[in-house]
Structure 1
Amino acid sequence: MELWSEKEIEILKENYKNHTVNELSEILPRRTKRAIVYKVRNLKINKQKIWTKEDVEYLRENYSKCETKEIAKYFDVSEIQIRAAANRYKIPKERLWSQEEVDFLHERWGETPISAIAKKLGRSIPAVRSKAIKEKIGGYIENGSYITLMELCRTINDGDTAATYRKMLKLKIPCINKKIHCQRIKVIDINKFWKWAKENKGDLNFANFEENVLGKEPKWVKEKRKEDIQYKQRRGVWSKEEINMMIDLNKNFDITEISKRLNRSEGSIRKQLGLLNIKPNIGKPKKKYWTEEEINLLKQMIREGKQYNQIMLALGRNETTVRGKVQHLFNTNSLRKAREQLEME
């Protein structure tokens, strides 16, 4: 490494304040840019910039809009000097929010995409999110009239959230996709949900749906919840008393009658009898023909949005028989599709 001469050091001291490193490398052709930087550090030469009013005004206008690196390049100084000057002249990096901007944020939060809010205000998406947190206006979804489809399924609490989710999609619930934090989430407007639920209440179970958990409810929901609770079948572990009662009932009654008396599903009773190696009492049931009154009652209950367990209890028939009759009358065992056909009559 060639030592610096006294003449080169003098040239460096005289020109460093007013020239960039690129220009100094041309003035000192025998020295690389890296060598010049190291020599400046060793000599402790401070390149102090004299800030004019115009410079300060430019810094004040652009400090919150541009990156510090760009401003440093414009003034041909280090980023540290830019930050020091901003601190000296009390120029905030963050652009202050006007009251109009804050009001706009409160009004549109939860309704308008965050990217659109940021574009309208001329701010970055992180800046908009940060301001929403500081204003304590809550999460994006929480402040609209929307609820995520998954959260709705958990709220209804019908035992199997995933199955409820699939059922709702199959029933064409009017949900939309919203992009939140780089993720697409299915959400639904609460008012549209109530309208859809009324049309499809026969396929929904509100027995475990907490009252007013989604705000004010339509009047029909209270009656629907009451009916579902009334016809709700028991689930879970069988007690010893239930098992003994089932064994006694099986001596004289068929599975349908046992199901009514124990408030358990027929499938659950068959399973318990199978585990105990007890044959179910099938008997010799006589074929019971459907009367015109029964068919009219069936159609009426389908129009009212009743479920199969409610219909079978009202008609005194098992679920298999009721499903078979619905299939025969409407060419489908879906109560929703059968209701649609009845509405078209």
Structure 2
Amino acid sequence: MSKNQKLWTTEEDLFLRKQYGQMTFQRMGEHLNRSKESVNKRIIRLNLRSEENCLRKKWTTEQDPFLKENIDIMNNREIGNHLGKSPSSVATRIKILKLARKETLRRWTGQEDEYLLKYYGSKSLEHISRRLQRSIPALESRLNRLGLYGVRAYTGNITVYELASCLQIDVHTIYKWIQKKELPHKITRAKTRKFVGVEVSAFWKWAEQNKKLLNFSRIPTNTLLPEPDWVRKQRKYDYYNRPKYEKKQWTEEEDARLWYMFYEEGRTQQEIGQLIGRSRYGVQRRLNRLRKKKLTT
């Protein structure tokens, strides 16, 4: 073993034992920040191939319906990525079940990739799905192919936009934490776009040392998994001790109401703040951001 080679931890070995046969080597490697070859060697060393958890496990009753449902909207590789199967295994299963695609799968275009990368992280996958007329599994698979591996479900990483949504705060606050409070983050590049991601477990470690920056009572239970035990006690404490409107996230309804009251009704920022439970400075900052947003759209 070379001096620079990273030792395998007990937690990583447990992850391999649990996911072997459920996830591909590539997917497990990206989750653990290791190469596919390293995962393969560790599986051999752990003697997992001789156990029941074999990659050639029989297709389950849950996997067949997924295959039938998505055969017309996903290719074999995309289906395999979700089921932990190889593309050839998916092709064989299609033949066994005597399935056939209604028409040739629609290839991804450069314009679709550009739109996906532009709005991923700032708009929901449901919104992008409707816009591109693609299924959410197809979007996730395409992001994987573009180098943005399946954010929350598989890697434990989330974008700053997703983190802001979970914490119910403004995304600019997350960026301030990164710049001024040393919030751990990782930058991923896909084509011309740069994504800032946060690893969930690293966030919780940081949050435990920076409790005053968050109102835990506003964070829904188990919205960021795995959630440490101390969060439950802190959530209860903040519920009874933190200001009611502290760092409250603006909703689309509030934005529309704010815009109407200021520009249509001619109300002052102080009046609007009193009506919607915000400070005058909070109203002022939100108006500035809404103006910039409208100028760029």
TM-score normalised per structure 1: 0.32
TM-score normalised per structure 2: 0.36
Look at both structures and tell me which one has the larger radius of gyration over its CA atoms: 1
Q: Which has the higher contact order (CA 8 A, sep 6+)?
A: 2
